Amino acid sequence: MSAVEWIRLIIGCLFILVGMVIFFTELFGVFHFNYVLNRMHAAAMGDTLGISACLIGLMIFSGLNFTTLKMFLIIVFLWFASPVSSHVLSRLEAATNDNLSSHCEIYEDVETLERELAAAGKDGDTEKKEASVS
């Protein structure tokens, strides 16, 4: 094997290993988070990043051919479809869950949320100024 083939092998293996680590992290998040939206977020991020990393590794193994183009199109499709489908499912969960208030804070009006965010921003600004002074 030439040096270029060894480099392709090592880089391809690294991408596949990174993808597998992302998959195992996703599994950990899915089984250890308590709330369904947290689980859904872990699953969606893991699928998008894990599959993309593994497919990039396979693209490196395959070289520059038509199969590589197909795998690239699969990655592009997944980067568009997975976040959209996860967002739709999470909106459905938020709309139909009667116990949502026990898991998170629900704001009935936008003004209350804006006031709390503005207050949090001012507190954060003063903390930053105090940290920069000392």
Please check whether residues 93 and 110 belong to one and the same domain: no
pTM: 0.69
Please check whether residues 22 and 51 belong to one and the same domain: yes
Please check whether residues 86 and 127 belong to one and the same domain: no
Please check whether residues 84 and 65 belong to one and the same domain: yes
Which domain range does residue 18 map to? 3-98
pLDDT in tens, 21-51: 999 999 998 898 888 888 888 888 888 899 9
Please check whether residues 17 and 77 belong to one and the same domain: yes
pLDDT in tens, 59-68: 999 989 999 9
Place of tokens 């030439």: 2
Please check whether residues 88 and 121 belong to one and the same domain: no
Instruction: Give the total number of structural domains in the chain.
Output: 2
CA distance linking residue 30 with residue 100, whole number of Å: 19
pLDDT value of position 122: 72
CA distance linking residue 120 with residue 95, whole number of Å: 27
Please check whether residues 94 and 123 belong to one and the same domain: no
CA distance linking residue 69 with residue 92, whole number of Å: 35
